[in-house]
Amino acid sequence: MNTALFYALIGAGLIGMGLQSLVLTPNIMRKIIALNIMGNGVFLILVSTSKRLLGMAHPEPDPVPQAMVLTGVVVAVSATALALALLRRYYEATGNLVLPEDSPEWGIEEMPPAMASYLENVDDDDEH
Amino acid sequence: MSTEQLPVLLVLAPLMAGFAAYLLPARFIKVLVTAAFVSVVIVLVPLYEYLTIAGPLRTSLGGWGVPLGIDLYMDGTGFVMLSMTTVLLAAICIYSHSYFGNGPRATRFWPMLLLTWASLNNLFITGDIFNMYVTLELLGLLSVGLIALAGTPAAYAASLRYLLAALCGSLFYLLGVAMVYANSGNLDWVELRLYLEGGPSAAIALGLITAGLMLKAAVFPLHFWLPPAHANAPAPVSALLSALMIKASFYIAMRMWLWVFPGSINTDLAAPFLGVLGAAAIIYGSVQALRQRRLKLLIAYSTVAQLGYLFVFFALSVEPGSATPALQAVVMFAISHAFAKAALFMCSGAIIHAYGHDWIDSLHGCAERLPAVTFAFAIAGVSIMGLPPSGGFIGKYMLILTAAEQGKWFWAAVLALGGILAAAYVFRVLNIALCTGKSVAVGQSVPAGLIWPAWALAVVAMLLGLLASGPLEIVAIGAPELDLFRTMPVDSP
């Protein structure tokens, strides 16, 4: 097993762990951490690919994947910051650290006041 | 400045306007948005001329060239997507101006809208698959911010769910890009087919990329985040998300399946699998749309269903010689859907403005109280159903025709069934809206700025059907010839 493969395997392991946690844990904070672990796994695999050319005619490591990892890290940091800011807003608004169940109508279940007036209007119309 | 360098301005103009909108006082926003539109339209005209005369256009940023630098590449498909984005955003801008007014949300909305525009333009002209990852992430983060603008707990929950799904999707995409690079040492999607070697690594790369993009495009069964996100966002944002954001992920998937991978791996089995998911999305999304009690959720589930058509396309594109007609059909379908769906969401925004809610059952007499809005809704609905002469009809008809030519009657039947189901959910709304006996009083009158953009887009969706040959011819510029790829000797890098 060469070094590149070793890194790639560790990266794959991190992705697996992150994905499992992302899907299975309900806590949003832990989901955000899980995404970061997944991201690190992907970056590790990317870095390992820059060793591709070693031992061939060009002994220098390939700079392109490293540039990609740098960009990826910047994206991951911004995304994490945004997720944390949103989570704080969500927590302040609901006191919850867990996403609601898979109901798209969540939070708007109550019938709006307009519905009540609608029902009254219907009765009026029927009388005429 | 030569024509080859013009595409840079397509990204630069909205990007600069976006940053300036952050920094300058709110009264400059109108000027900035107008300036961005004027410069983009001025650039698109010579690009159109160049495309029709000289074919696809390539720009090396900074003169580096592939493989070290990032190239911009524009062909017919990219140009049609760019034009669609420009027209749609113009309508969304007029609508948002009425919707947000000068309130505190407006100052946060406009910079994000302009940056979204820059990212979309960048996506449609970039030649680099890693650059596509960056624009995907930008679009994801900006959409999350735009959804959260609604400021309700439900919107926060929806945007968090969307953020988590979108990040996970882009990581899968990035992993696929890493494998493509490890395989070929190249990232340019136009040239990749010459360098990509077949075998398991290419197949896994395509699998990862497709899985990530399907999560981001909300293809059944990965659609769980879409209905709450699109239904809880402010109306102009819903229009933007359903019309454009979804198409961004689909656009990348299209490039991958038609341009990058066909030369190296055999997709004869994988493509029908995507088609089956698309067919399931059509049925599931339409049935869910029929069951919804809120108008915005109905329209959001309709998006889930219409996305199914886009993925059935993959099943129809694998036969030799069928790539270009299938591509023309699907691009036609995608742009008509974008215009019609944006119009529907704009109408729902106007209805919420008038009634204070969007419960379908209490919209009785909507046609009487809001005739212009209901009419726009009906015209856009015609395109969603795919009735002639709308653009939706041409797209759907061409897809069915492609399926029939290949003898794939199953797909033709699914596509036709989707049209009937779409008619069912559109008529369900219209039925209640046109029922005049017990009409409900409107709380607030609707300003013209919330009506005419919806009208304009619905009419554009209709006109697309009458003027279809123009866009179809442009799409054919630079379209892939799959059989050519397969017989062509592949150069080793």
Q: Specify the pLDDT at position B102.
A: 83
Q: Does domain A3-100 have CATH number 1.10.287.3510?
A: yes
Q: Which residues of A touch B148 (CB under 8 A)?
A: 86, 89
Contact across the interface for B293 and A105, Cβ inside 8 Å: yes
B211-223 burial code (b ≥16 CB/10 A, e <16):
bbbbbbbbbbebb
Amino acid (1-letter code) at residue B201: S
Q: Is B386 part of a structural domain of the chain?
A: yes
C-alpha to C-alpha distances, B469 to A42, B251, B335, B394, B463, nearest whole angstrom: 44, 21, 14, 10, 11
A25–chain B nearest CA distance, Å: 13
Contact across the interface for A82 and B145, Cβ inside 8 Å: yes
CB atoms within 10 A of CB A109: 7
Nearest Cα to Cα of residue B132 among B107, B169, B79: B169
Judge contact between B268 and B319, C-beta under 8 A.
no
Q: Is B11 part of a structural domain of the chain?
A: no
What does the alpha-carbon distance between residue B352 and residue B176 come to, in Å, rounded to a whole number?
42
**pLDDT above 90: residue A109:** no
Question: Around B387, how many Cα atoms within 13 Å sit in the side-chain half-sphere?
Answer: 13
Tokens of B286: 């339409």
pLDDT tens per residue across span B200-223: 889 999 999 999 999 999 998 898
Q: Is B105 part of a structural domain of the chain?
A: no
What does the alpha-carbon distance between residue B450 and residue B96 come to, in Å, rounded to a whole number?
8
Q: Specify the pLDDT at position B338.
A: 95
pLDDT tens per residue across span A1-24: 677 888 889 999 999 999 999 999
Contact across the interface for A104 and B228, Cβ inside 8 Å: yes
Judge contact between B69 and B188, C-beta under 8 A.
no
What does the alpha-carbon distance between residue B282 and residue A49 come to, in Å, rounded to a whole number?
40
- For chain A, helix, strand, coil in percent to 5 are 70, 0, 25
**In whole numbers, what is the pLDDT of chain A averaged over residues?**
79
Cβ-based contacts under 8 A for chains A and B: 133
A122: contact with B, CB 8 A cutoff: yes
ipTM of the complex as predicted = 0.88
Contact across the interface for A28 and B164, Cβ inside 8 Å: yes
B240–chain A nearest CA distance, Å: 19
Nearest Cα to Cα of residue B295 among B353, B215, B334: B353
B12: contact with A, CB 8 A cutoff: no
Q: Is B333 part of a structural domain of the chain?
A: yes
From chain A residues 87-116, the ones with a CB under 8 A of any chain B CB are 87, 89-90, 93-94, 99-100, 102, 104-108, 111-115
What does the alpha-carbon distance between residue A112 and residue B484 come to, in Å, rounded to a whole number?
60
- Number of domains comprising chain B: 1
Amino acid (1-letter code) at residue A34: A
When mean pLDDT is compared across A104-118, B250-264, B343-357, the lowest value belongs to A104-118
Of the partner residues A46, A68, A90, the one whose CB lies closest to the CB of residue B156: A90
Tokens of B163: 């953020």
φ, ψ for residue B74, nearest 5 deg: -125, 125
User: Tokens 């005619």 map to which residue?
Assistant: A57
Q: Specify the pLDDT at position B487.
A: 39
φ, ψ for residue A96, nearest 5 deg: -115, 145
Q: State the SS3 of A79-108.
A: HHHHHHHHHHHHHHHHCCCECCCCCCCCCC
Q: Is B276 part of a structural domain of the chain?
A: yes
Q: Please indicate, yes or no, whether the overall pTM of this predicted structure exceeds 0.95.
A: no
**pLDDT above 70: residue A126:** no
What does the alpha-carbon distance between residue B397 and residue B325 come to, in Å, rounded to a whole number?
12
Local confidence band at B367 (pLDDT 50, 70, 90 cut-offs): confident
**Length of chain A in terms of residues written:** 128
Tokens of B385: 């159903």
pLDDT tens per residue across span B101-139: 888 888 899 999 999 999 999 999 999 999 999 999 999
Q: Which residues of B touch A94 (CB under 8 A)?
A: 153, 156-157
Q: Is B121 part of a structural domain of the chain?
A: no
A20-36 burial code (b ≥16 CB/10 A, e <16):
ebbeeeeebeebbbbbb
Q: What is the DSSP letter of B450?
A: G
Q: Is B112 part of a structural domain of the chain?
A: no
Please report, in angstroms and rounded to a whole number, the separation of the first and last CA atoms in chain A.
Answer: 87
When mean pLDDT is compared across B13-27, B189-203, B283-297, the lowest value belongs to B189-203
Comparing B363 with A35, the larger pLDDT belongs to: A35
Q: Specify the pLDDT at position B149.
A: 92
Q: Specify the pLDDT at position B80.
A: 95
When mean pLDDT is compared across B352-366, B402-416, B446-460, B468-482, the lowest value belongs to B468-482
From chain B residues 142-201, the ones with a CB under 8 A of any chain A CB are 144-145, 148, 152-154, 156-157, 159-161, 163-164, 167-168, 171, 174-175, 177-178, 181-182, 185, 187
Q: What is the DSSP letter of B435?
A: -
Burial bucket for residue B182 (CB in 10 Å: 0-12, 13-18, 19+): buried
Contact across the interface for B161 and A99, Cβ inside 8 Å: yes
Contact across the interface for A104 and B297, Cβ inside 8 Å: yes
Peptide bond into A61 cis (omega under 30): no
- The domain ranges of chain A are 3-100
Q: Specify the pLDDT at position A107.
A: 47
Q: Specify the pLDDT at position B485.
A: 44
Contact across the interface for A106 and B157, Cβ inside 8 Å: yes
Tokens of B279: 């067919």
Nearest Cα to Cα of residue B86 among B2, B3, B13: B13
A31: contact with B, CB 8 A cutoff: yes
A40: contact with B, CB 8 A cutoff: no
A35: contact with B, CB 8 A cutoff: yes
C-alpha to C-alpha distances, B244 to B300, B477, B492, nearest whole angstrom: 13, 22, 37
Amino acid (1-letter code) at residue A22: L
From chain A residues 46-85, the ones with a CB under 8 A of any chain B CB are 46, 49, 52, 62, 64-65, 68, 71-72, 75, 78-79, 82-83
Judge contact between B39 and B461, C-beta under 8 A.
no
Radius of gyration, alpha carbons of chain B: 22
pLDDT tens per residue across span B291-304: 998 999 999 999 99
What does the alpha-carbon distance between residue B116 and residue B119 come to, in Å, rounded to a whole number?
5
pLDDT tens per residue across span B446-490: 888 999 999 999 999 999 989 888 888 888 888 876 444 443 444
Nearest Cα to Cα of residue B90 among B319, B347, B346, B417: B346
